[in-house]
Structures are given as C-alpha cells and as structure tokens.
Amino acid sequence: MTTSATFQPVLERIAEEMERRPGRGRAADYIPALAAFDPNRFGMAIAEPDGTVYGVGEWRQPFSAQSVTKVFTLALQLAREGDELWEHVGREPSGNPFNSLVQLEYENGIPRNPFINAGALVVTDRLHTRTGDAAGALLDFLRAESGNPELTFDRAVAASETAHGDRNAALAHFMASYGNIDNPVPVLLGQYFRQCSIEASCADLALATGFLARHGVRADGTRLLTRSQAKQVNAVMLTCGTYDAAGEFAYRVGLPGKSGVGGGIIAVVPGRCTLCVWSPGLDERGNSVAGVAALDRFTTLTGLSVF
C-alpha cells in the first residue's frame, strides 16, 4: 500500500468539515454488538485502480462490513452463474427498508434486488451451493483484493446477529417455501451472519472494491466479471445500494454506492477510483449520516460522478 498526494487534500478538507457537522445519527442497536460505537468516529479512504490508497481519520480502523459485503457476494456469484442468477433475484429498487418482508409474498418469493437482506440471502445461498463455503469464499476474495491476509470474521458480531436473527430467519424460511432457497435455512443463516460480520477497514474495502473501477478486473490482473457485468453491478448499486434512500443517494452523491449498518459505505467512480467511508451513526434508513455527507462533499468538490 502506498500513499501520495493527489486525493489527500480533498480527504482532509472533508474530514475537517465532518468534524464541524452536527447530527451524526445513531449506531445500529438492533444488533447489540454494534450499538456501543460512538457516532463521532470517522474514517475515509480512496483507492486508485493501480492500488494507490489515500486516507484520513480512522481509515485503517477495522469495522463491521455488514451489508457492504453484499456487493462482493453478488460479484462472486454473478461470475459463476451469469444471467441465470437474475431468475432468482431481481434488480429493481424495493422502495422498502432493507429487512422488509412485504413484497416477497406478492412477488412469489423472488426478492426485488441483491442488496436488500432477502436478495442477499438468495445470493449467499447460491454461492454456498457452488463453493461449499460462501463466507469463506468471500473472505478469501476480500483478503486477496485488499492485500490484507488478516481480515477475519468477528465472532461476537455473528453471535449477536444470530441471537437477534428472527427477521432474517423469517425472510429465509419464507423464500424457502417458494423453493427459492437451496440450503437448509439454519446453514444459510450461519453463512449470512458470518458474511456480515467480516471486519475490514476503509482502506481494505476501498481496495477490495477496485475491480468495479477496473471494469471487472481483479487486483492481480485476472478478470472476475465481464465489462458488461461490472457495469451491471455498478448500476444495481446506484439504484438499490442504499435501500429506500437510493434516490436521495443518487441525487446527492451521483455514484454507485453500497452501505452497511456498521456505518460503512463503499462507492465507485468507474475508471477512476473507489471510496470507502466509515462513521457508525445511521439515519432511520440504516445509512451512515456522515458517510453520505462525506461522499456528497467528495463529488461536489471534485466534480467526479457518473453524471
């Protein structure tokens, strides 16, 4: 990992602005292991396609990646399965909270998109069938792309989610009743909670997202996704990556992005760079308040967006 000057001044300016900004939201409390985080914590990293990384604040501090991981499992499974995957999960915004059950019955157990919990459960289930260890395949991928062999699961977070997992269990059982889940639900939930519990820093996640800025090419130069599939993943991030706030996120930030309730958000400027910002205080839709604000400032200050 190297650091140099190009993006550094803008990161420092954003961090300074965020420090002065009142109103940071609240850490997720439905997963007790995440509730204790101070909303004032903040880190941000930018990675260029060649692996150069810039950072500010707590950019090397590991945090709970949570739903940010849904981007990587989607990419891994899309690479394996191709378009058939879209017969089992849609690619339309849900307009509903990330853990909502309501659309599933009307839509015959096919979730709206891979970034709400129901859709991510379908993707992880299919990845597990093909790899025998979906969470392990994800961890291997993140370690390779970030260059950080120390990335690991946080057992306390996984246990905390398991103990409070009734809603995810309900989603999985309901989809299983439509034949859209292959593995036994307890096996799938174990994989999904491990996936969500991965601890990684802004630097790790900005680097791991690099394949989406490189149009599908991994850090080692091999191809994970076709150029067209990389475009598809970026498009689904733009339209669905921040749940029922995706319209507002596109309006303010103008980049493909994916949030998690650990307070992380990744974002992509195709061809140019990837970003990850972390601040644990969330808004009522489960997106980091300072994280969205920081990305909003980044695209405003640099003029870099997909529009």
Active-site residue identified among 243, 253, 259, 289 = 243
Active-site residue identified among 10, 53, 54, 67 = 67
Active-site residue identified among 56, 217, 233, 261 = 261
- 70 catalytic residue (yes or no): yes
For residue 174, count CB atoms less than 10 angstroms from its CB and return exposed for 0-12, middle for 13-18, buried for 19 or more: middle
Q: Return d(Cα 138, Cα 76) in angstroms, integer.
A: 8
Is the Cβ of residue 7 or residue 98 nearer to ligand GLN in the bound state?
98
The DSSP result for 145-183, as a single string, is: HHT-TT-EE-HHHHHHHHHT-HHHHHHHHHHHHTT---S
Out of 198, 261, 290, 294, the only residue in the binding site for ligand GLN (CB under 6 A) is 261
Q: Output the six-digit token pair for 297.
A: 């400032």
The verdict on 205 binding ligand GLN (CB under 6 A) reads no
Q: Return d(Cα 270, Cα 215) in angstroms, integer.
A: 7
Contact (Cβ atoms closer than 8 angstroms) between residue 298 and residue 10: yes
**Total number of residues that touch ligand GLN (CB under 6 A):** 11
x/- mask, ligand GLN, residues 51-90, rule CB under 6 A, reads: ---------------xx-----------------------
Site for ligand GLN in 135-164 (CB under 6 A): 161
Q: Return d(Cα 162, Cα 154) in angstroms, integer.
A: 12
Site for ligand GLN in 94-133 (CB under 6 A): 98-99, 117
Is the Cβ of residue 56 or residue 74 nearer to ligand GLN in the bound state?
74
| Number of residues in the chain | 307
Q: Which residues bind ligand GLN (CB under 6 A)?
A: 66-67, 98-99, 117, 161, 168, 196, 260-261, 286
Which sequence positions are flagged as catalytic?
67, 70, 192, 243, 261
